[in-house]
Structure 1
């Protein structure tokens, strides 16, 4: 199961994963990420991983394929907060943080969920949500 969770910042795509994740659910997540990338110059993500058991084979292949296509597009990503108490998920997130240097990935225990949400909602100093206008407003 993969479901969206609300986040106060528009540039953040937040999801909760548990049980078995299907390819259809994963495609909805990919679509949400792509829509956020079109609407914002930089996006962040939150993944709350609770009782995730596995992904279907089709979902796993879709996840790997999408991840590989994003390697050349990392300038759109800022942060990824992973909320979990599962040690194997923490280890995987730390490995991904080392592999994808352009994306800052941090893990947070479930008791620090609000800190994870706040951290993911921050933008880098000087980043703007909307492109600045050139000063001309027409008459």
Structure 2
């Protein structure tokens, strides 16, 4: 299961994952990320992971493929908050932070969900809530 969840900041795409994630659910999240990138100069992510067991094979391949396409587009990403109590997810997030230095990735325990949401919602210095005012109209 992978569902989008609401966040008060428009530049943040938030989602909750657990159980088994399908390719269709992952595509829905990718579409939300791409839509946010079209209207904001930098976006942030919140991923709440609760009892994630696995991704279907097609979801895993889609995730890897999408991730590879983003390597040349990391300037669009500001922060990623990973909310989980699963140790293996925390280790994976720390590895990703070392690999994707352009994006700040931080893990939070589930009890700090509100802190994670607030941290992800902070705009980078120099960015404004309304990118249209700065003349930004997406790529």
Which residue of 2 is the match for residue 101 of structure 1? 101
Which residue of 2 is the match for residue 65 of structure 1? 65
Give the total of aligned pairs: 134
CA RMSD of aligned residues (A): 1.1
| Residue deviations 1:84-115 (CA, integer Å, cap 9, x gap) | 00000000000000000001000000000000
Matches within 5 A, 1:84-95: 84-95=84-95
Distance 1:72 1:85, change over 3 A: same
- Structure 2 CA distance for aligned equivalents of residues 116 and 22 of structure 1: 25
Which residue of 1 is the match for residue 37 of structure 2? 37
Q: When the two structures are superposed, what TM-score results if normalisation uses the length of structure 1?
A: 0.94
Q: When the two structures are superposed, what TM-score results if normalisation uses the length of structure 2?
A: 0.94
Aligned partner of residue 123 in structure 2, secondary structure: coil
Structure 1 consecutive aligned stretches of length 4 or more whose deviation exceeds 3 Å: 131-134
The yes-or-no answer on 1:47 pairing with 2:52 is no
Deviation at 1:48, TM superposition (A): 0.1
- Structure 2 CA distance for aligned equivalents of residues 133 and 70 of structure 1: 24
Deviation at 1:132, TM superposition (A): 3.6
> Bigger radius of gyration, 1 or 2?
1
Structure 2 unaligned residues grouped into runs of 5+: none
Which residue of 2 is the match for residue 80 of structure 1? 80
- Structure 2 CA distance for aligned equivalents of residues 89 and 105 of structure 1: 12
